[in-house]
Amino acid sequence: MKFQAMELLFGKNTPKQMIPKVTLLAVFAILVFTITPLSYPLFRNSSSSLKKNGSNNNIPSSTFDDLNESTSLPSTSVKKCDIFSGEWVPNPKGPYYTNETCWAIHEHQNCMKYGRPDSEFMKWKWKPNGCELPIFNPFQFLELLRGKSLAFVGDSVGRNQMQSMICLLSRVEWPIDVSYTRDDYFMRWKYESYNFTMAAFWTPHLVRSKQSDLNGPGQTGLFNLYLDEPDEKWITQIEDFDYVILNGGHWFTRSMVFYEEQKIVGCHYCLLENVPDLTMYYGYRKAFRTAFKAINRLKNFKGITFLRTFAPSHFENGMWNQGGNCIRTKPFRSNETQLEGLNLEYYMIQLEEFKNAEKEARKKGLKYRLLDTTQATLLRPDGHPSRYGHWPSVNVTLYNDCVHWCLPGPIDTWSDFLLEMLKMEGIRSAQERLRLDQD
C-alpha cells in the first residue's frame, strides 16, 4: 500500500498516435545520424583505443572506403563490442542536470533534496569492454525520434527511467503534458518541436492483477494475478507506438495467487490451503510470456519492443521490510560481485522468454531488442535513495529505498544505451537499404 504510494506513476492513455512513416527525410536523417556522427567516431575511438594486434582486432581498417561491399559496413561495427559488459569509470563531467535544473525528478528520487551527503555517485560513466559508449546526446536523440513515440511499460523503475530521460532531454526542450487522464500513473509527454511523444503505463505485473488483501501472509499485500491476461491498461494503448520499453520484477516478490483460465492454479507464498506454491518465478515467467504474446498478436503494431532487463536492488543486512539498507558510496568493479539468486533467476527467465517471443515476432516482421541493463545496474549499489528519498521523520513503508534510483544517477546511463541502440537501428536500416539497392 505505502509502497504503492512510492510508485506514483505517470502516464496516460492512448492517443491515436502515429503510424510510423518513413519519409525520404527520415531516411536521410537516419543515414546522416548513423553514418556520420555515430560510426565515424565509433571507429575512430575504437581503433585508437584497441591494441591493433592481429587476431583480436576485427575492425576493418577502412570501413567506409568500401561501401561497395555493403556487408562489411555495419555488421562488423555492430558486432564488435558488447556495450552491456564493462566497468564504471570516473566521469568528472557528470552529472548533466541537477535537482535545480530539472523539475521532473520524482520526489522520492530527489536524493540531494533530502540530504544525501555524498555526490560521487553522480560522477561515473559506463565503459564497455572494447569500445566506448558515448554519453547521451539529447539533440541526436530527439532528431532520431522526430515524429515518433516511445512507451515505458512496467513498474515505477520504468517511470524512474522516463523521468531521467526528461531531465537529460531538458537541455534541448521541455515536453508539454498531453496526458489523457489526471492519473499520475499514466502520463504522456510531447516534445513539440520534434513531434515526439513519450508515455508511461503503470502495470507492475504486466498481466491483469488485483490486490485482494492489504496484508497477506507477508504483510505486503496479496495480489491476484491473471497470468494469461495481459493488463488492458497498456496492451490496448500501445498499438500505435514506435518503441515500447517493457520492464518488471520487483512486485513479483510479494504474495500472489495465480489464475489461469480464470481458475486458481497456484500461488507464491499465499499459505492458502490446497493451493500449491509454484514460486514467484512461475508467475514472473508467465507474465512476460503473456505480455510478449499479446504484443505479437496486435494487429497494427509495427514498433520495436525493447525488454529493459531486471534492475537488481541492493538491500544489505536485511530485506526491504526488515531494516535492510544500501549505504555504499562507490560502484562495484565487475570482479567484486556477480549476478546470483533472485537477480540471476529473474534475468535468465527474461532472456528465455525474450528469445522465444523474438522468434515468434520475427515471423511477423516484428523486432525485439534487449536493453540489457542488468549487469551495469548490478554494479551500482551506490545509486539508490536509501533513506534520502524523504524526510527522516516521514513514516513510509520503503523507508530505505534500495530499489529506485537517485536522479541524477546511474540510470541516466540507460539513455546512453538506448540512444546507442537506436543508432544501431539506423545502421541496420542503412544496411538493409544498401542491400535493396544492390538487388
Q: Does position 34 bind ligand NAG by CB under 6 A?
A: no
Strands 207-213, 222-230: pairing is antiparallel
Residue 156 annotated as catalytic: yes
Question: 90-116: buried (b, 16+ CB within 10 Å) or exposed (e) per residue?
Answer: ebeebbbbebeebebbbebbbbbebeb
Q: Which residues contact 161 (CB under 8 A, 6 or more apart)?
A: 152, 245, 247, 308, 411, 414, 415
* Chain centroid, CA 413 distance in Å: 10
C-alpha cell at 135: 554519453
Residue closer to ligand NAG, measured from CB, 99 or 350? 99
Q: What DSSP line would sit under 77-123, residue for residue?
A: HHHS--TTSEEEEE-TT--S--TTT-TTS-GGG-TTTTT----GGGS
- Per CB under 6 A, the list member of 8, 47, 78, 113 interacting with ligand NAG is 113
Among residue numbers 222 through 281, which ones bind ligand NAG (CB under 6 A)? none
Q: Does position 58 bind ligand NAG by CB under 6 A?
A: no
If binding means CB under 6 A, how many residues of this protein chain bind ligand NAG?
A: 19
Among the listed residues 155, 242, 401, 412, the single catalytic one is: 401
- Per CB under 6 A, the list member of 8, 18, 265, 351 interacting with ligand NAG is 18
Residue closer to ligand NAG, measured from CB, 109 or 325? 109
Region from 7-15, 142-150, 248-256, 322-330 binding ligand NAG, contact rule CB under 6 A: 142-150
- The SS3 of residue 437 is helix
Question: CA Rg, the chain, in Å?
Answer: 22
- x-marked contacts with ligand NAG along 357-396 as a string, rule CB under 6 A: --------------------------------------x-
Q: Does position 109 bind ligand NAG by CB under 6 A?
A: no
Residue closer to ligand NAG, measured from CB, 10 or 241? 241
Q: Which residues contact 128 (CB under 8 A, 6 or more apart)?
A: 81, 82, 83, 84, 85, 86
How many CA atoms does the CB half-sphere of 112 hold within 13 Å?
15
- Per CB under 6 A, the list member of 48, 53, 300, 438 interacting with ligand NAG is 53
Among the listed residues 404, 412, 415, 416, the single catalytic one is: 404
Residue closer to ligand NAG, measured from CB, 262 or 395? 395
Q: 253: how many CB neighbours lie within 10 A of its CB?
A: 18
Residue closer to ligand NAG, measured from CB, 110 or 209? 110
CA distance 330 to 338: 16
- Per CB under 6 A, the list member of 24, 100, 117, 439 interacting with ligand NAG is 100
Q: Does position 26 bind ligand NAG by CB under 6 A?
A: no
Q: Does position 195 bind ligand NAG by CB under 6 A?
A: yes
Residue closer to ligand NAG, measured from CB, 398 or 411? 398
**H-helix or E-strand spanning residue 354:** helix 341-363
Region from 110-118, 178-186, 276-284, 382-390 binding ligand NAG, contact rule CB under 6 A: 110-118
Whether the CB-CB separation of 303 and 150 falls below 8 Å is answered with no
- Minimal distance, residue 274 CB to ligand NAG, in Å: 32
CA distance 131 to 137: 17
| Widest pairwise Cα distance in the chain | 70
Q: Does position 438 bind ligand NAG by CB under 6 A?
A: no
Residues acting as catalytic residues: 156, 401, 404
Binding site for ligand NAG (CB under 6 A): 17-18, 51, 53, 68-69, 99-100, 110, 112-113, 147-149, 195, 333, 335-336, 395
